[in-house]
Homo-oligomer: A and B are copies of this chain.
């Protein structure tokens, strides 16, 4: 075996424009942390023996470890920077650079992502955002009210009737339950027409679920726009963040992001993607105007701190991308309104599901009670 010698370089000059990502690395010593950060910089870029690279590949194509600090015993925070040329303008590859192979490393968590000028121009973020959605709904301030059409099994007629009653009670955003796809119970197009007609003139906006295979997602979103639905919902965990980004950019309706099948990335052990990035930054990067996630204390296990992180990730300055609405849900109850509002502030979509139905058979009355509880304080 001959001794390795650096022999791989590129003739193409790089622009020098770089973007960063921050990672949490679990390591037993500073030396181990440094080695892990260096390994990560190779893993996310060339995935190749670094000692065989030279020149621009060694100096610019491989990620650079820009910083590494111990933030708690055995826990380090590393900043890596990447050449913008690695991305080629594609969200799939940007996500791959941020957390492709590293998603498989048990001791590395993606904490926060950065952008660069060129990336922020390519991925302009939410098309409506907080301000745009407020304009569309004609609700200048205070939290928005939202609920879901369900259960799966109801006919389009029954779902439309439910939507009308909820809209008459003052719900702003009426979305499909995320399990409503294109089943025989309530085929997408029939449901779409029925619900849109049923809430006409109420001021409420319907967001049908367009999570579907391949181009069907975009086709259904275009049908929704043509029919007069005011928004759409999609689950990026199921269709990919890039399809949501395309939806936001090409269709021109506000986009609600649903967390189904995203739970794998929630931090467990030492890995995963921090709530700030997973339900905040990456969602804005992919164009979501409203991001649904389980609020602390419901059926799921997010902590109060994690929910606050999501709120920050949706509203923090982020290279000029518009802020988006948090929509905490997952087993919300009317009596929690004040507490939830205190945590998230004014710019909040209050999402309540089953508990509305538990108030009794008069859904309009139940919705009014919800409206009063939330908006009475506005």
Chain A residues with a Cβ under 8 A of chain B: 1-2, 4-5, 7-12, 39, 43, 45-49, 52-53, 56-57, 61, 85-93, 95-97, 99-106, 148, 150-155, 158, 177-179, 181-185, 211-216, 218, 235, 237-240, 242-243, 245-246, 259-266, 268-269, 271-273, 294, 299-301, 330, 353-354, 357-361
Q: Do A45 and B95 have beta carbons less than 8 Å apart?
A: no
Q: How far is the CB of A333 from chain B (nearest CB, A)?
A: 12
Report chain B residues within 8 Å CB of A179. 45-47, 86, 93, 96-97, 100
Q: Do B152 and A45 have beta carbons less than 8 Å apart?
A: yes
Q: Do A238 and B294 have beta carbons less than 8 Å apart?
A: no
A354 to B39: give the CA distance in the assembly, Å: 13
Apart from the given pairs A57-B151, A92-B212, A96-B261, 5 other A-B contacts in the complex at a CB distance below 8 Å: A4-B358, A93-B183, A96-B179, A240-B240, A264-B264
Q: Do A85 and B184 have beta carbons less than 8 Å apart?
A: yes
Report chain B residues within 8 Å CB of A265. 264
Q: Do A272 and B268 have beta carbons less than 8 Å apart?
A: yes
Q: Do A360 and B47 have beta carbons less than 8 Å apart?
A: no
Interface majority SS (helix, strand, loop, mixed), chain A: loop
> What are 23 A-B contacts defined by CB distance under 8 Å?
A1-B359, A4-B360, A8-B154, A10-B155, A11-B155, A46-B179, A47-B148, A47-B150, A47-B177, A47-B178, A57-B151, A57-B154, A85-B185, A86-B179, A90-B213, A101-B260, A103-B260, A103-B261, A103-B262, A105-B299, A238-B242, A264-B265, A268-B271
Report chain B residues within 8 Å CB of A47. 148, 150-152, 177-179, 353-354
**Known interface pairs A238-B242, A260-B103. Does A90 touch B181 (Cβ–Cβ under 8 Å)?**
yes
Report chain B residues within 8 Å CB of A88. 181-184
Residue of B nearest to A263 (CB): B103
A330 to B104: give the CA distance in the assembly, Å: 10
A86 to B61: give the CA distance in the assembly, Å: 47
Report chain B residues within 8 Å CB of A353. 47-48
A211 to B242: give the CA distance in the assembly, Å: 11
Report chain B residues within 8 Å CB of A7. 361
A57 to B186: give the CA distance in the assembly, Å: 14
Residue of B nearest to A266 (CB): B104
Q: How far is the CB of A131 from chain B (nearest CB, A)?
A: 27
Q: Do B358 and A49 have beta carbons less than 8 Å apart?
A: yes
Q: How far is the CB of A248 from chain B (nearest CB, A)?
A: 12
Report chain B residues within 8 Å CB of A215. 215
